Amino acid sequence: MKKQRLVILGGGESGVGTALLGKAKGYDVFVSDKGKIKENYKEVLIHNEIEWEDEQHSESKILDADVVMKSPGIPDKVALVKQIREKGIPVVSEIEFASKCTNATIVGITGSNGKTTTASLTHHILKQELNVGLAGNIGDSFAKQILEKDFDNYVLEISSFQLDDIKDFKPKIAVITNITPDHLDRYDYKFENYIASKFKIAMNQTKDDYLVYDADDEVITNHLKNNPVQSTLLPFSLTKTIENGAYLKNDNIIITIEKSQIIMPTSNLTLEGKHNVKNAMASSTVAHLLKIRKQTIRESLENFQGVEHRLEEVLKINKVKYINDSKATNVNATYFALESMDAPTVWIVGGVDKGNNYEELFRFVNEKVKAIICLGVDNKKLFEAFGNMVDIIVETEFMSEAVKIAYKVAESGDNVLLSPACASFDLFENYEDRGRQFKNAVRNL
């Protein structure tokens, strides 16, 4: 029999991981990347004798595939992807391809914001008692981990782009942290398309599976009303009393699942802010479902150190706190950051605007922000939105300069917050590069 041909578009972490797993499963594998494949990934492909090309797409080699795995960064609008689909060749995501190669229990976590923190916190709790991997949009690729470690359980952080190309993927436990407008340029600027993409995480679930979600998020609750799912629902809320799920009462998180209840005080949570109480609720609900002991959950919530580039305290200089929230690539993430500021704040903002509406930030800017430093190629929209609200608003295209300006403007007791509310691709490689440059600039003051 002729080997099935697996073509992989994109030679990054998920692409190379899938190539390794595909080869191990007996596929004839070809990796093609229109950009340059990084040297470390090239070495892996060469060492494993996997055919590859970069800086081009050879159509003849791609269009004879039996299945195509495309990197989440490649939009469906691309002509080559359209051709592949027109030929009837199935296009899948790494999550879809890899999940078929494991019998592990999968916890899938998605949402516009909070998914990295929730996934990292969930993994941190579960690993105390279970054999568990952390993958998806975070760390080593899911496919590579299945090949090398094959954990009994996985926590996957899953983006809408990864969910767009699933067919049969079905997590035992799905979590939706929240849904706010994001990446609309990939969804024909229709919010409902983006919402539908997020809900694909539950589309194959049955009543034996669970959907954990934010019951305070109207977008989620309205969608569920009009598009019911098969899963067993476990909502969490800061404001409502929840019979089956989690809620907040007198600074305690109360989680009830099938008459089994645990109570966790929020007073000792290492992560600050209301949004992090919600992240803790989601993670604890998952842990409770997977029979993790109450004591373990409590201790894990109290010693979790948080995620890099997410409200990460970098240094205190002259009693000014420098905070790296580079992962805030949309308005809603920055909303949570500004909400949690407890001192006058110098705010560094800007980048590639994804159709942002800044209105929901006005209240916090009026209350808490003393100066704005715009860090982007095009800052016109920021000046229009906030120009009249603060005494100082300046622009720069260099992180080092942004940090120096902030150092001059900030006074003892203030915060300097990098929370861009935008994508990073105009001046930086990605949000990690942006965050690292901020931290280096702060350390060099």
| Cα separation, 112 vs 165, whole angstroms | 18
| Cα separation, 97 vs 436, whole angstroms | 33
Phi-psi group of 291: left, alpha or beta (phi > 0 → left; psi -120 to 50 → alpha; rest → beta): left
Residue 209 in contact with residue 232, Cβ under 8 Å? yes
Residue 269 in contact with residue 258, Cβ under 8 Å? no
* HEC-encoded secondary structure of 30-82: EEEECCCCCHHHHHHHHHCCCEEEECCCCHHHHCCCCEEEECCCCCCCCHHHH
Torsion sign across C-alpha atoms 253, 333, 214, 169: negative
Amino acid at site 108: G
116 is in an annotated binding site: yes
| Cα separation, 331 vs 359, whole angstroms | 9
105 is in an annotated binding site: no
Torsion sign across C-alpha atoms 226, 229, 232, 235: negative
CA separation, residue 157 to residues 161, 177, 192, 274, 372 (Å)? 12, 11, 21, 21, 32
Residue 270 in contact with residue 302, Cβ under 8 Å? yes
* Beta strand ranges found along 191-241 (DSSP E): 210-214, 232-237
* Beta strand ranges found along 215-357 (DSSP E): 232-237, 245-249, 252-257, 260-265, 312-317, 320-324, 345-349
| Cα separation, 437 vs 51, whole angstroms | 36
285 is in an annotated binding site: no
Residue 422 DSSP code: S
111 is in an annotated binding site: yes
For the chain, how long is the longest CA-to-CA vector? Answer: 73
Q: Which amino acids are annotated as binding site, given as ranges?
A: 111-117
Q: Which amino acids are annotated as binding site for ATP, given as ranges?
A: 111-117
